[in-house]
Structure 1
């Protein structure tokens, strides 16, 4: 099979030939059609995640990719060969999905309907699930409650804007000014510059930092009583836990490490209801993975960056 390998010394990728993996009991062989690019992939190419990369290498050359849309090529207990499926491989322990074939535990995949195409399906997986985790589990919003989404044009951000708006919340989005009209079409009531996300008198029920670059201390003066600050960077502001406990406001950190069929079914249901709409910035061939990784790392993208296998 064709697979993406990473040369961490040169910080670049290359397409190589590799054996098709053989599924063990409980696993499904997936023919990957579309996979997405994530922050972890960019960091691995730059030499990060060394301990995990060392473990990934034992399984083969593929070090990047953990979400996909594809076709099952072996039978499981729930999944039959030939079914189109989505899913993702657990973030910390692999295996990776930037290859023509991958093996994934059956508990991490779910069939998808015929009218959800491969690119849209792959665009929804991890970041759509992350938005659901925030807005249905950590802090659901009621009509007319207010939320601020920082990094609103990225994958987690745009799906959070959509989902919060579907709950009836008033959504303020923080992003580059050239995204203002696009974000308004996604459900944002107003769009604010990155340099000045807060305004005098703001009292948000939820501040979601999808970019993971701010802190509870910055958000706290602008949270309503009982308001919640959530960041996608679990290590960037650990002291915020203590400050939140003493303030009567709440803080949470989020990293989606794995999934299950129930969560994937909920993702599909929200797509079906129109509450989550696939947002695709760009699609690259596997040979152009370096350009895809660079695009993911650049400011100004709108939604997901995908690799088509």
Structure 2
């Protein structure tokens, strides 16, 4: 009864396997969560490929689980807000929190919130980080008003699809960049125009966008700037690819931002759930894999034609 299944990743051979390890014991401020479903993220794929060496070293001190930081599950111990038996959604600190590709994890209570029964496990897991990231962009970094124009690069991925949904709900005119095979699906998320990247340029003469969201970090502020409106904003998922953008943006009206969220809080998670209940954010699920088939999940994540999130059922 004190053992659990967990995913162990071989960062040398880039493979994974399920092992049996002792169940963790929560310390002060932490709650034991029985994980139902998690998701695969870019960081997980990079860790499996041998990346994030300094973070992996820290994860190894805590145990063999090196991947997974967002989850839906059931609390098995009490906290100050959360009670045992409640279903919870959340994610751990990206750089130094526990990893959750395991049957159980001890998670800081500040990183989770209880969810209603109307939000199913897979739907909740599909929403967590990518939905929160889209909210961060569209509600904090650059809120849009009806009629404004938004370009979403990587619109068939998790962040991209939720950004399309959220921007469209605000009355913005959304142009989406994605694979031709996903064009119809992205249009169903609310895009006004879809440009398949195989056959059409990312930017066109005369484009003026109030927001350009580059989810896969394929563009740059310098490249995007001529196609921004006078006070437009360019947001990338990876600022390290374009550090000069922040310097250039400091000397003009056009702005550069980035969308990595290292940690969440109950208020942000509650906002995510509220937008789901209002029908604004609709979970996008590409595929669901059992943890015993995790390598297939990692490989699916790297497929450019996927639609939405790749999930792991624990």
TM range (shorter): over 0.9
Q: Is the 8 A contact 1:213 1:236 kept in 2?
A: no
Instruction: Quote the offset at 1:224 in angstroms.
Output: 0.4
Classify the secondary structure of the residue corresponding to 1:298: coil
How do residues 8-47 of structure 1 correspond to structure 2 at under 5 angstroms?
Answer: 8-47=11-50
Q: Which residue of 2 aligns with 1:263?
A: 268
Unaligned runs of 5+ in 1: none
**TM-score for both structures, normalised by structure 2:** 0.97
Q: What CA distance in whole angstroms lies between the structure 1 residues aligned with 2:115 and 2:98?
A: 21
Unaligned runs of 5+ in 2: none
Q: Does 1:73 align with 2:68?
A: no
Q: What CA distance in whole angstroms lies between the structure 2 residues aligned with 1:242 and 1:196?
A: 27
Match of 2:147 among 139, 144, 147: 144
How do residues 1-309 of structure 1 correspond to structure 2 at under 5 angstroms?
Answer: 1-194=4-197, 196-309=201-314
Instruction: Quote the offset at 1:11 in angstroms.
Output: 0.7
Q: What CA distance in whole angstroms lies between the structure 1 residues aligned with 2:264 and 2:59?
A: 19
Q: What CA distance in whole angstroms lies between the structure 2 residues aligned with 1:213 and 1:18?
A: 40
Classify the secondary structure of the residue corresponding to 2:77: coil
Q: C-alpha deviations, 1:130-160, integer Å up to 9, x for none?
A: 0000000000000010000000000000000
Q: What CA distance in whole angstroms lies between the structure 2 residues aligned with 1:269 and 1:197?
A: 33
Q: What CA distance in whole angstroms lies between the structure 1 residues aligned with 2:284 and 2:258?
A: 24
**TM-score for both structures, normalised by structure 1:** 0.99
Instruction: Quote the offset at 1:244 in angstroms.
Output: 1.5
Classify the secondary structure of the residue corresponding to 1:58: helix
206-215 or 191-200, larger mean C-alpha shift: 191-200
Instruction: Quote the offset at 1:193 in angstroms.
Output: 2.4
Q: What CA distance in whole angstroms lies between the structure 1 residues aligned with 2:78 and 2:171?
A: 42
Q: How many residues align?
A: 309
Instruction: Quote the offset at 1:9 in angstroms.
Output: 1.2
Instruction: Quote the offset at 1:187 in angstroms.
Output: 0.2
Runs of 4+ in 1 over 6 A off after TM superposition: none
Q: Is the 8 A contact 1:155 1:303 kept in 2?
A: yes
Q: What do you get for the CA RMSD once the two structures are aligned?
A: 0.7
Q: What CA distance in whole angstroms lies between the structure 1 residues aligned with 2:28 and 2:251?
A: 49
Instruction: Quote the offset at 1:22 in angstroms.
Output: 0.3
Q: What CA distance in whole angstroms lies between the structure 2 residues aligned with 1:280 and 1:297?
A: 15
